[in-house]
Amino acid sequence: MATIFSKIVAGEIPCYKVAETEHCFAFLDINPVVRGHVLCIPKKEVDYIFDLDDGLFTELHLFAKRVAKGLKKVCPCIKVGEAVVGIDVPHVHIHLIPLNNPGDLNFAHHVEMKPEELSALAAEIAAAIE
Ligand code: 5GP
């Protein structure tokens, strides 16, 4: 069965997209731990990041690097942090999280954002990605 992220890539489930390449896709996390929480995924459905072949593993990280640079321009932060968990959704995803405090990378914490705020933020990040 297709993962929820494959359905997002296919356009069957809406998302706040920030970037897309032939093999990778980035969108805002629906339940952000901080403003600007982005997920970068390979379009190919693979559960565990270390099962990706070397080419796609590298491509995904270079894609995440490009997205993180755009994200940092829009969401002021000391650094954009990167985390891989993958316990909830069995489809590889890199969390990009703007960090201003060590505690910002806390998956127990969430910020409320309205749909119109998420939509505007996604457009701003998309425009900032080179
Ligand atoms: P993990 O698998 O790394 O533990 O967490 C999965 C992440 O995916 C969570 O941060 C969760 O908020 C996010 N997520 C789950 N379902 C959706 C969805 O349908 N859309 C979006 N944009 N994010 C989702």
CB of 49 shorter than 6 A to ligand 1: no
| Ligand 1 atom having least distance to the Cα of 16 | 22
Ligand 1 pocket test: pick from 5, 8, 29 the residue with the most ligand atoms within 8 Å of its Cβ.
Answer: 29
Strands (E), 1-130: 17-20, 24-28, 38-42, 79-83, 94-99
109 counts as catalytic = no
From the list 59, 33, 50, the residue with the least C-alpha distance to 86 is 50
Average pLDDT in the 41-59 region?
98
pLDDT tens digits, residue range 97-127?
Answer: 999 998 999 999 999 999 999 999 999 999 9
Ligand 1 centre to CA of 38 (Å) is: 10
Q: What is this structure's pTM?
A: 0.98
pLDDT tens digits, residue range 8-46?
Answer: 999 999 999 999 999 999 999 999 999 999 999 999 999
| Ligand 1, atom 21, residue with closest C-alpha | 30
Distance CA 127, CA 4 (A): 25
pLDDT of residue 102: 86
pLDDT of residue 130: 93
Average pLDDT in the 72-96 region?
97
> Of 61, 93, 109, 110, which is the active-site residue?
93
Residue 117 corresponds to which amino acid?
E
CB of 27 shorter than 6 A to ligand 1: yes
